[in-house]
Structure 1
Amino acid sequence: MTPAQARELALALAGAVEKPHHELTSFRLPGAKGRIFATLTPDGAELRVFIKDEAARDAWIAREAGVVEPLFWGAKRCGVKLLLAKARPGWVKELLAQSWRENGGSA
């Protein structure tokens, strides 16, 4: 999967917008809060998806070992990071949609 494909999937979610976030590209919910549901590294190698549901994070990591890894904010796990070159669009779409919903997105 390419960074352009990941961008397309993220922006296909209702109201999603793209904005810079430090050195990253962020994908956010619309509105004043603009919660981030995913980020893309500058080199396009990693998509970081913020999944709050711990069981869901663990399931994705186990299901796609070597492609999906834990994402930490300090010592706290806050989501998963995907190695885009090995990722499949179908399940990347699922992960992005889950994060979008968990962070307040609605159709």
Structure 2
Amino acid sequence: MNAAQFRRLALALPEVVEHEHHDHPDFRVGGKVFATLGPDGSWAMVKLPPDAQADLIDRDPEAYEPMPGAWGRQGCTRVSLTAAQRTDVEPALALAWHTRATPAIRKKHGGGR
């Protein structure tokens, strides 16, 4: 996977807009960040529930790890784009979207999954 592919997957989700956050792209739904691309494009972040984060890291620790500090403890998960597989990234993005979308947005789009 590469940064362009990650961007396409994120932007394919309903009502997602791309902005910039701390000098790198982020992806938002309802004004809330659910994913970002690292400044050099080699990594990304998805905001997951902590239990989903733990499952993903257990499945593929080469591709996924918690972000440092409190962000990581809250579910922010670093994705090594060169190691990650689309088959894991796509559902992780959908879950991150679902977690951050408002109930009205989720209802409008049938849950977003």
Deviations 1:33-77 (A, max 9, x none): x000001011101110011x2211111110011110012354761
Structure number with higher helix proportion: 2
CA contact (8 A) 2:43 2:80 kept: yes
- C-alpha RMSD of the superposition: 1.5
For structure 2, the residue ranges without an aligned partner over 5 or more in a row are none
Identity %: 35
Matched residues, number: 103
Greater displacement, 70-79 / 95-104: 70-79
Match of 2:18 in 1: 18
SS at match of 1:86: coil
Q: Contact (CA 8 Å) 2:43, 2:81: kept in 1 or not?
A: yes
Q: Aligned partners of 2:42 and 2:73: how far apart in 1?
A: 20
Structure 1 ranges of 4+ moved more than 6 A: none
Q: Aligned with 2:15: secondary structure? A: coil
TM-score of the two chains, using structure 2 as the length reference? 0.84
Q: Does 2:38 correspond to 1:44?
A: no
In structure 1, the residue matched to 2:67 is 71
Cα–Cα, structure 1 residues 4 and 75, in superposed 2: closer, same or farther, change >3 Å? closer
- Select the residue among 97, 100, 103 that pairs with 2:94: 97
Give 3-state SS (helix, strand or coil) of 1:49's partner. Answer: strand
Distance change (3 Å), C-alpha of 1:15 and 1:75: closer
Per-residue deviation at 1:5? 0.2
